[in-house]
Amino acid sequence: MAIDVARTARRLGSEDVRLVCLETRDASSQDRMPALDWEIAEAEEEGIVIHSSLGIREILVEAGKAVGVRTRKCISVREPDGSFNPQYDDTVELPDLQGDSIVLAVGQANDHSLEQQGQGIFAGGDMADGPSTVIQAVASARNAARSIETFLNGGQPTAEVALSEPEYAESSFDPIPRAQSHELPAAERLRHLDQEDNPGLGRAGMENEAKRCVSCGCLAVGPSDLAIALVTLDAVVVTNKRSVGAQAFFKASAASSTILEPEELIKEIVIPKTSERGASEL
């Protein structure tokens, strides 16, 4: 949310925008900023200065008006079990950050008081699953809708619509290069609030990208049932660039829906055997 607020402020005409966040920029840390890599890169391209690993100690006020913030060094955000518990080093002296306006864009806690009153609640999205992508939120909403429908149907699930067997064109199995969309230049992005930063693909580009769905490796919603089996079997996913263990391959998160690099395609899956016949390839 904070990075969206900062980028919106730039589009509304603010010349100097600073983003203060508890999290670190270290991508390997569990305390990493909860924003996608490309969001961070585009924000900085638009002139936003990110002050990471800092907390707000105090909002500075003069004549009844906020004029800046006093910060404190944040050395960790979460406990090993993932619970939110920021820790600070107040021995580090930091300069105050001046500003004409201060916008608070922090995470919110869920209100569980209705649950204690015995009321039935249907929930989805961030409230049910924590921070995630838009696609994950849509999937969560579909699950909540199914639950509501079952409840209104007296507890009986509605009949699922039978799906026909998928049919793939031969071209779907060809190594088709990944389509490349193009961001508008930063100067152009900052001029508008009513248009997409990335215009997207044309019809031909979308059709070609759809043909890659057999092997694109997207994990935006979540790995399939097959993924659990592959991790259990200690399988190896072979791409046109490298070999990756299944457990590492199926690591999707809100910050990254796939570990595949641009132009990287899945070629085969290798499952080790305990017999003397070696490995079996699928």
Q: Which residues of 237-258 are buried (b: 16+ CB within 10 A; e: fewer)?
A: bebeeeebebeebbebeebebe
Where do we find the tokens 């919106």?
8
Considering the domain boundaries, does residue 187 fall inside one?
Answer: no
Per-residue pLDDT at 279: 46
Tell whether 144 and 264 lie within a shared domain.
yes
Considering the domain boundaries, does residue 116 fall inside one?
Answer: no
Sequence-distant (6+) residues with CB within 8 A of 200 are 181
Per-residue pLDDT at 68: 95
Considering the domain boundaries, does residue 191 fall inside one?
Answer: no
**Which has the minimum average pLDDT: 93-97, 144-148, 158-162, 257-261?**
158-162
Q: Is the pLDDT of residue 274 over 90?
A: no
Tell whether 87 and 204 lie within a shared domain.
no
Residue length of the chain: 282
pLDDT tier for residue 221 given thresholds of 50, 70 and 90: very low
Per-residue pLDDT at 8: 94
Host domain of residue 60: 2-98
Per-residue pLDDT at 99: 92
**Each residue's pLDDT tens digit, 56-109:** 999 999 999 999 999 999 999 999 888 889 999 999 999 999 999 999 987 767
Contact predicate 109/84, CB 8 Å: no
Backbone angles phi, psi at 49, to 5 degrees: -95, 125
- The predicted model scores a pTM of 0.60
Contact predicate 22/77, CB 8 Å: yes
Q: Is the pLDDT of residue 281 over 50?
A: no
Considering the domain boundaries, does residue 79 fall inside one?
Answer: yes
Considering the domain boundaries, does residue 53 fall inside one?
Answer: yes
Written as one letter, the residue type at 138 is V
Considering the domain boundaries, does residue 109 fall inside one?
Answer: no
> Average pLDDT of the chain?
82
Query: What is the DSSP annotation of 212-250?
Result: TTTT----SS---HHHHHHHHTT-EEEESS-EEEHHHHT
**Each residue's pLDDT tens digit, 9-33:** 999 999 999 999 999 998 888 899 9
As for how many domains the chain has, the answer is 2
Tell whether 133 and 258 lie within a shared domain.
yes
